[in-house]
């Protein structure tokens, strides 16, 4: 065998090793929807207590599944619905197993574990966040609507959006496509699902063009999330999720399917969700808020004049049929995404209004000065849509941007992500006998019925705890070794702060300032401050700087912007603050003050040096804690049903980490190269 052949074979072997390593790396991703096609983490099944829950299994017709058991569970409890029957459904080409939900099951979002045997094999399949239990069908749905993030780059915005969803407590959430940058990127799915599985409200995902491998092919989406087109019925509400593909349009057969679904549910309140919009940028650029049509045929004029989104340009007949379907089937709300900018208008037809909402969403790539945003829409079972809730407070159809802001706006400084800030401190994981909660709404927008839930140790009687201030309505659940304290009917009005503390002991120690640094960013100094309090937690910080005022001896200037960044489980809070460079010079004096929820405080002086940042110059003695009146013990709560409950993030199955496979592959390649050199030497 000559040298060329030997080298060729060894190169092929090396490539096979590299490919094998890549496969192992990709195998870490959980393909949730390979067997269970309904319900999945992308579309939880809404079901009433005491009624039947369906589980759909993608098995061959001769698999004959049997020996079923089902468990649904979340952090507050678990139940075992009773098996009813199983049958093969030709329409779905799947087996349908039915289970009866226990009447004592509490409202909330649950994960499920289904076990069965089929074709000589035993299955144990877990599906996180896939069952939505309700005591009755809702009369109103508070829908949080958003789309577009494209992890990994969109992860900072997606992470903040999930945090805000969990506080704002919507009835349900819809995320409308472009979850990941590319479907083949393991890191993209890992980051998206990391936060998706933290959502504690029923959440539904639609497919976008970025989830496609190629036109018409979305295998990875189907293996992880499930169906591309589906419907969700929640009592009198019908949500129709439609796939606009990789190229932004629908085939006629798909539209005809949707028409049949709408006709079969004519009495429902109908909401259509699709990734690509029907109306395009010209509607926004010309600030057209109202489009009046006398007949469906008026669509031709809209199309010919360029008001329809460009992806439909070669599919006029399909776009016309879709427009006709919306108007003739009374689809009053159409929710779209994809554009990374707001486009909103109302179509008036035969005395009715049809609302078309395209929202910027939370992508990493938006137009300059656009704000990333979301919608929080109130929809009623009688068909009424509260038009005011389609927009950020005070905005209208053509007053852009008009969604609820998630950030300051692209390329705007000072900049922050998250104008609805909240945290639990020092930690809300059941390890602390004192936990505080603070929510701060910096927006001009009111929010109602936010979610507050404390988790504290149950190693002492609950009567030993006090809640400050005493809430009007709350409930206590003793689950295992913990008390869960749910506080109800708390609103977060515009420009307001809400605070609660639960504690079994007083706070005798002041907070500490762990570190502070300043980093230059264009015309700004951006400070990062780490502060800690291990008892009741840090309540607030204050930074002042400049020459001391002659009349009061205090520093008169505060930063242009404060930004809460993160709460760590060790009791440390991280804040940022922004200061214009022109206001600071070498020798500028700073004072940082930190106060905890009990009233203890600390103050430290610093001096600014451009090459070193903030240098401590003086530490004032810790003052005696200001007296805090000890409130009387909280009254015994009246028994109430908890609101939708928090769901723990499932622990992923162990898998070989990326660096392990990389090392293995590298070692093998080194061995191969050594073999090549040895063979050449012998020749």
Span 442-475, pLDDT tens digits? 999 999 999 999 999 999 999 999 999 999 999 9
Is 550's pLDDT higher than 90? no
Tell me the C-alpha distance between 376 and 382, whole Å: 18
CATH class of residue range 420-503: mainly beta
| Predicted local distance difference test score (pLDDT) of residue 16 | 39
CA distance 481 to 610: 51
672, pLDDT greater than 90: no
Report how far Cα 256 is from the mean position of its chain's Cα atoms.
32
Say if residue 19's pLDDT is above 50. Answer: no
pLDDT at 554: 59
Distance of CA 163 to the CA centre of its chain: 7
Residue 254 pLDDT more than 50?
A: yes
Superfamily classification of domain 512-619: Immunoglobulins (2.60.40.10)
Q: Where are the beta strands (DSSP E) in 49-164?
A: 52-57, 66-74, 77-79, 82-89, 94-100, 108-118, 121-134, 140-146
pLDDT at 660 over 50: no
Candidates 180, 181, 172, 178; CA nearest to 145 is 172
CB-based contact 257:231 (threshold 8 Å): no
Average pLDDT, the chain: 89
Q: Which CATH architecture has domain 35-136?
A: Sandwich (2.60)
Instruction: Label residue 639 by pLDDT band (50, 70, 90).
Output: very low
- Distance CA(37)–CA(56), nearest Å, equals 5
| Structure confidence at residue 551 (pLDDT) | 53
Lowest pLDDT segment from 325-329, 438-442, 550-554, 562-566: 550-554
Two tokens, residue 340: 């990374």
- What is the rounded distance in angstroms from the CA atom of residue 579 to the CA atom of residue 517? 13
First to last CA, the chain: 10
Predicted confidence at residue 28, as pLDDT, reads 73
pLDDT at 138 over 90: yes
Which CATH architecture describes the domain 137-405?
4-Layer Sandwich (3.60)
18: pLDDT strictly greater than 50? no
| pLDDT tens digits along 256-271 | 999 999 999 999 999 9
Contacts of 388 (CB under 8 A, 6+ apart): none
Q: Which of 149-163, 378-392, 502-516, 616-630 has the lowest mean pLDDT?
A: 616-630
Q: What is the pLDDT of residues 72-92, one digit of tens each?
A: 999 999 999 999 999 999 999
Round to whole Å and give the CA distance between 447 and 490: 9
Q: What is the pLDDT of residue 553?
A: 56
Task: Report the C-alpha gap between 489 and 277 in whole angstroms.
Answer: 36
Nearest to 235 by CA among 141, 306, 160: 141
């Amino acid at each position: 065998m000559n040298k060329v052949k030997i080298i060729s074979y060894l190169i092929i072997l090396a490539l096979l090793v590299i490919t094998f390593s890549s496969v192992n790396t990709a195998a870490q991703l959980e393909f949730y929807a390979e067997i269970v096609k309904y319900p999945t983490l992308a579309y939880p099944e809404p079901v009433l207590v005491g009624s039947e829950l369906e589980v759909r299994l993608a098995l061959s017709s001769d698999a004959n599944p049997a020996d079923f058991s089902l468990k649904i569970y979340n952090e507050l409890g678990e139940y075992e619905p009773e098996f009813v029957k199983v049958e093969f459904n030709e329409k779905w080409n799947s087996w349908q197993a039915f289970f009866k939900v226990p009447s004592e099951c509490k409202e909330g979002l649950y994960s499920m574990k289904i076990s069965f045997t089929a074709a000589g094999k035993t299955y144990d399949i877990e599906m996180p966040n896939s069952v939505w239990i309700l005591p009755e069908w809702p009369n109103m749905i508070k829908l949080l609507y958003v789309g577009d993030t494209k992890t990994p780059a969109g992860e900072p915005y997606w992470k903040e959006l999930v945090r805000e969803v969990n506080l704002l407590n919507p009835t349900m959430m819809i995320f409308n496509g472009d979850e990941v940058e590319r479907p083949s990127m393991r890191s993209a799915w890992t980051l998206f699902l990391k936060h998706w599985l933290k959502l504690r409200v029923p959440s539904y995902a639609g497919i976008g063009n970025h989830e496609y491998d190629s036109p018409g092919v979305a295998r990875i989406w189907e293996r992880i999330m499930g169906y591309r087109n589906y419907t969700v019925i929640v009592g009198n509400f019908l949500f129709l999720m439609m796939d606009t593909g990789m190229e932004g349009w629908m085939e006629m057969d798909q539209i005809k399917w949707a028409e049949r679904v709408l006709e079969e549910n004519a009495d429902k309140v109908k909401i259509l969700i699709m990734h690509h919009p029907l109306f395009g940028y010209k509607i926004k650029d010309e600030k057209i808020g109202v489009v009046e049509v006398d007949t469906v045929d008026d669509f031709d004029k809209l199309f010919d004049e360029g008001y329809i989104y460009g992806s439909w340009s070669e599919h006029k007949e399909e776009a016309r049929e879709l427009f006709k379907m919306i108007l003739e089937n009374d689809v009053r709300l159409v929710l779209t995404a994809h554009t990374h900018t707001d486009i909103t208008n109302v179509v008036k037809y035969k005395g009715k209004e049809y609302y078309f909402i395209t929202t910027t969403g939370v992508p990493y790539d938006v137009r300059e000065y656009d704000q990333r945003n979301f919608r929080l829409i109130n929809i009623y079972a009688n068909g009424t849509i509260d038009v005011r809730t389609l927009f950020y407070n005070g905005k209208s159809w053509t007053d852009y941007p008009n969604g609820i802001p998630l950030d300051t706006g692209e390329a705007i400084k000072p900049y922050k992500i998250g104008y609805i800030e909240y945290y639990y401190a020092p930690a809300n994981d059941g390890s602390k006998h004192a936990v505080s909660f603070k929510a701060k709404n910096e927006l001009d927008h009111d929010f109602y019925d936010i979610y507050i839930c404390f988790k504290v140790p149950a190693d002492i009687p609950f009567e030993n705890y006090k809640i400050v201030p005493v809430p009007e309505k709350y409930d206590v659940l003793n689950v295992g070794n913990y008390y869960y304290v749910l506080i109800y009917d708390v609103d977060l009005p515009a420009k307001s702060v809400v605070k609660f503390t639960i504690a079994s002991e007083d706070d005798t120690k002041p907070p500490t300032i762990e570190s502070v640094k300043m980093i230059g960013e264009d015309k700004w100094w951006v400070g990062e401050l780490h502060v800690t309090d291990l008892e009741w937690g840090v309540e607030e910080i204050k930074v002042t700087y400049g020459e001391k005022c002659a009349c009061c001896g205090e520093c008169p200037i505060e930063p242009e912007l404060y930004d809460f960044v993160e709460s760590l489980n060790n009791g440390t809070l991280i804040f940022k603050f922004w200061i214009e460079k022109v206001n600071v010079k070498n020798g500028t004096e700073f004072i940082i003050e930190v106060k905890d929820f009990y009233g203890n405080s600390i103050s430290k002086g610093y001096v600014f040096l451009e090459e070193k940042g903030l240098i401590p110059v003086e530490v004032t003695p810790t003052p005696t804690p200001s007296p805090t009146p000890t409130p009387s013990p909280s009254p015994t709560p009246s028994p109430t049903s908890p609101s939708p409950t928090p769901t723990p993030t499932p622990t992923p199955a162990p898998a070989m980490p990326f660096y392990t496979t990389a090392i293995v592959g590298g070692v093998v390649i080194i061995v191969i190269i050594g073999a090549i050199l040895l063979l050449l030497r012998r020749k």
